[in-house]
Structure 1
Amino acid sequence: MKYYSTNNHKHQVGLSEAVIKGLAPDNGLYMPERIPVLPNDLIEKMSEMSFREIGYAVIGALFSEDLTEKQIHELVDHTLSFDAPIVEVEEDLYSLELFHGPTLAFKDVGARFCSKLMSMLVEDKSKTLRVLVATSGDTGSAVANGFLGVEGVEVIILFPKGKVSKLQEKQFTTLGQNITALEVEGVFDDCQTLVKQAFLDRELNEKLMLTSANSINIARWIPQSLYYFYAFSRLPKTSKKVAFAVPSGNFGNIGAGILAQQMGLPIAQFVAATNVNKVVPEYLHGFPFKAKPSIPTVSNSMDVGNPSNFPRLLALYGGDEKRFRENVKGYFYTDEQTVEAIQAIQPKGYTLDPHGAVGYLGLKDFMAENPGYVGVFLETAHPGKFRDVVEEALGEKLILPERLAAFLEGEKKVIPMGKSFEEFKGYLEGLV
């Protein structure tokens, strides 16, 4: 399988280069040259298959030209070491719980897949692979824990000072070993820009082997399609159409759902739900796409003003903006609405995190406007990761899972960093 750049379809590379480079030299994102379609009977049989068996089938269809069956099984077994259950919150409305992994966030799936695949594909074991990651919260913790202790790999995480929850910070600033955290004076978009500039700097790339583990990397992005197949297979049999609502920031997660749809999964509609960083919902309502400075919110992992994966979404629809806007409906919500949703659902016996609350609101509004659907919203992180917001909303203390509470004991270690590329480049050059 070849992978093309979203900026130039003629620029094509193999799996190894697409994964290790992460970003195309023309600043484009890599996309598979074709999307395999799974047989209908296989999708119907998924209700009888385990999560891992579904993973073997989906990843096999995408990677069998480049990986052996044994490698595919190793990848899937390493990635899907935890469950992703659906929970009925209201009639015909389900939460897909993606917080049962090591760092209690959906990004555990992509991070574990990415770290395992990279270790398989790196040919020159004598050179250190340096993974650059910009994070607004959960990416940093998932990637750090996914790559922790992996021989021959160093992870450098850039995060915006004061704009990540304390618990999220602890999950990637206390680990040490091969994980370094850079605390950037700026917002997430500044961190993301620094990472992209590093990949495009020829002088740096001649000295260092750099790659990314953000969702711009296909090895982080593609495996997220797996839990859409799994969730769909676990829904009660129904004649109603199915909609998935995805709380969105960088828009990789919803892109993975669209990939699953194009592989044959019969999802009828997607809902892109954001906080007030609403550049994509505005686009979906007919306005031109226009990046804007990000605005801090209580759902901080979605505080993105220039979503990296937007070109990938366009590529999935072959540049057909009309079809894009028909298949994906956009909604956005304020902090006040987010907190009200957390408060409204609690009496029903379910606790939302701020991001899941945004997804829930989007799904509710879509289903109110479009009767006759069964809906699934993605609960992308454990509410304990946003303890301050959730406890203030509910007026009660949360009991943290043991492995989440353990992170609070660690000592935060960071390197302060300005948002100029010259400073960041100087730091990287000092690693040689």
Structure 2
Amino acid sequence: MIYTDTRDSSVKVDFKTAVINGMNSKTGGLYIPVEFPRMPESILQSKIEPSFRTVALEMAKPYCAGEIPDEDLDAIIQDAYPFISKLNQIDPSTYVLELFHGPTCAFKDFGARFMARVMSYFNRENKDNLHILVATSGDTGSAVGSAFHNVPGIDVTILYPEGKISPLQEKQLSTFTGNVRALKVKGTFDDCQKLVKTAFVDNELRSKFRLSSANSINISRLLPQGFYYMYASLLAKAKAPVSNKMQDPAIIMTVPSGNFGNLTSGLIAQKMGAPIAGFVAATNSNRTIPDWIATGKYEARPSVETYANAMDVGAPSNYERIAAMYSLDEVRSMFASYWTDNDGIINGIQECHKKTGYVIDPHGAIAWKAWDEIRNGGMEALVKGAKNDFTKPGLTSNVPSWAKEIINKNAVGILLETADPAKFGATVKQAIGKDPVIPERLQKIMNLPDQAIPMENDYNKFKDWLMATL
């Protein structure tokens, strides 16, 4: 497979180069495949429930072809996924795709564990360490740290915004030792991301160290997140005649979105044949993408702190990939777009619990709010000509191609639950009056000593630290 660059389509590199480099240091662009091969029809047309690991292997094959033999790729996938995503039906037309059953209780485990094993595979004969730099707004860092911990030949530096993630999330980040270290930056996620991106285009640093990324900047983290979109949509399709009393429903993926890597992974799965009719881009007060969809103007801005902190991103990196893959008119046809504020997040947790009994986290709560509004008159109002004020919480006014399926009650929603509610216990308790159950693997972390290193939001100081430490 050949990979090109979002900023220069003349660039052509192989999978290994895209993975190890993370992004193109010459242009600052992100790597994307030049094509998206269709999955085997034997899997797409099967009437039986799919196997997650079989889906993962068949999706990964074309992107690694000629560089990772199928036998080795299968071993990577088997080792990466001792867990799978779980599709939980919570009402007649709604599923929750639980993506928190991995070691760090967040969806980032799916991408990070595959990426770590692929990087280790490509680095196995290199004498010099590969240095991973990653910015996190919550769960990325812990997933990456866990995936790479004690992996030979690779070390990891995680940057997170001090005081702007949940206490449990910070504990997950600040307690790593050995080849994984965390820097608590006096700033926002966007500041952390800017420090990392600047390092990648710093010629002096790159001449001295082998640097790579582990955010959704890196294609090897983005591609495996597509596995659960393919798996969940095929599973929902197989279940529909019995579970939803629908023979061929339109499947709508409702995606809590910050840096928009997760949603981009869904677009890749759709291109490969996943039976997904459309997407809902659901975000918090950091509404850069909804504003772009509403107005046609993309304007990055400083991030705003919210209860759904993993989505506190004002300059989403994967906008570049979406804009490289589709025109704005195509995006408006595929996406419904929705945002809400902190009051809406609390209300979403409350209403989901009240109506279904399901305890959802703040990010999933935004997906719930979006889907519930869409199916209960919101989409029909748009079809009839309603013009919503995009500066206020709610749906943007574009009408996606799948709108009539909603009105005709021939659609099911899959809400992506990207983290265990226990990681946001205080917010969940504020909403429903009780603490969520804390998984044992999270309880153990709370007693570990903090190891995080303070860092100013100053690139020169960050660079000096890298030069002295790596």
User: TM tier, shorter chain?
Assistant: over 0.9
Q: Distance in 1 between matches of 2:352 and 2:361?
A: 11
RMSD: 1.3
Task: Choose the corresponding residue for 1:351, options 349, 359, 365.
Answer: 359
Q: Is 1:336–2:312 an aligned residue pair?
A: no
Aligned partner of 2:332: which letter? R
Q: How does 1:10-409 map to 2 (within 5 A)?
A: 10-25=10-25, 26-45=27-46, 47-122=48-123, 124-235=125-236, 236-237=239-240, 238-317=247-326, 320-347=327-354, 348-368=356-376, 369=379, 370-371=406-407, 372=409, 373-409=411-447
Question: Post-superposition shift, 1:123?
Answer: 5.5
Q: What do residues 89-111 of structure 1 show as CA deviations (whole Å, max 9, x unaligned)?
A: 12111100000000000000000
Q: Contact 1:2/1:13 (CA < 8 Å) preserved in 2?
A: yes
Q: Is 1:6–2:30 an aligned residue pair?
A: no
Once the two structures are overlaid, the 10-residue window that deviates more, 300-309 or 170-179, is 170-179
Q: Distance in 1 between matches of 2:290 and 2:250?
A: 22
Q: Distance in 2 between matches of 1:241 and 1:264?
A: 14
Once the two structures are overlaid, the 10-residue window that deviates more, 323-332 or 43-52, is 43-52
Once the two structures are overlaid, the 10-residue window that deviates more, 294-303 or 76-85, is 76-85
Do the aligned partners of residues 146 and 123 (structure 1) sit closer, same or farther apart at CA in structure 2, a change above 3 Å counting?
Answer: closer
Q: Secondary structure at the match of 1:249?
A: coil
Q: Distance in 2 between matches of 1:148 and 1:277?
A: 32
Question: Post-superposition shift, 1:61?
Answer: 3.0
Q: Contact 1:258/1:316 (CA < 8 Å) preserved in 2?
A: no
Q: Contact 1:4/1:33 (CA < 8 Å) preserved in 2?
A: yes
Q: What do residues 179-212 of structure 1 show as CA deviations (whole Å, max 9, x unaligned)?
A: 1111101000000000000000000011111110
Q: What do residues 189-237 of structure 1 show as CA deviations (whole Å, max 9, x unaligned)?
A: 0000000000000000111111100000001111000001111122123
Q: Distance in 2 between matches of 1:9 and 1:303?
A: 30
Q: Distance in 2 between matches of 1:93 and 1:36?
A: 29
Once the two structures are overlaid, the 10-residue window that deviates more, 323-332 or 193-202, is 323-332
Q: Distance in 1 between matches of 2:231 and 2:211?
A: 33
Task: Choose the corresponding residue for 2:459, options 410, 421, 431.
Answer: 421
Q: Secondary structure at the match of 1:381?
A: coil
Q: Distance in 2 between matches of 1:207 and 1:130?
A: 11
Q: How many residues align?
A: 430
Aligned partner of 1:284: which letter? I
Once the two structures are overlaid, the 10-residue window that deviates more, 105-114 or 342-351, is 342-351
Q: Secondary structure at the match of 1:260?
A: helix
Unaligned 5+ runs, structure 1: none
Q: Secondary structure at the match of 1:296?
A: coil
Do the aligned partners of residues 46 and 215 (structure 1) sit closer, same or farther apart at CA in structure 2, a change above 3 Å counting?
Answer: farther
Q: Secondary structure at the match of 1:157?
A: strand
TM-score, normalised by the number of residues in structure 1: 0.97
Q: What do residues 384-427 of structure 1 show as CA deviations (whole Å, max 9, x unaligned)?
A: 01111111222112221101111111111111111111011101
Q: What do residues 148-174 of structure 1 show as CA deviations (whole Å, max 9, x unaligned)?
A: 111111110000010011111111211
Aligned partner of 1:394: which letter? I
Aligned partner of 2:320: which letter? P
Unaligned 5+ runs, structure 2: 241-246, 380-405
Q: Distance in 2 between matches of 1:47 and 1:131?
A: 40
Q: Distance in 2 between matches of 1:51 and 1:139?
A: 22
Question: Post-superposition shift, 1:12?
Answer: 1.4
Question: Post-superposition shift, 1:75?
Answer: 1.9
Question: Post-superposition shift, 1:126?
Answer: 1.5
Do the aligned partners of residues 426 and 332 (structure 1) sit closer, same or farther apart at CA in structure 2, a change above 3 Å counting?
Answer: same
Q: Secondary structure at the match of 2:226?
A: helix
TM-score, normalised by the number of residues in structure 2: 0.89
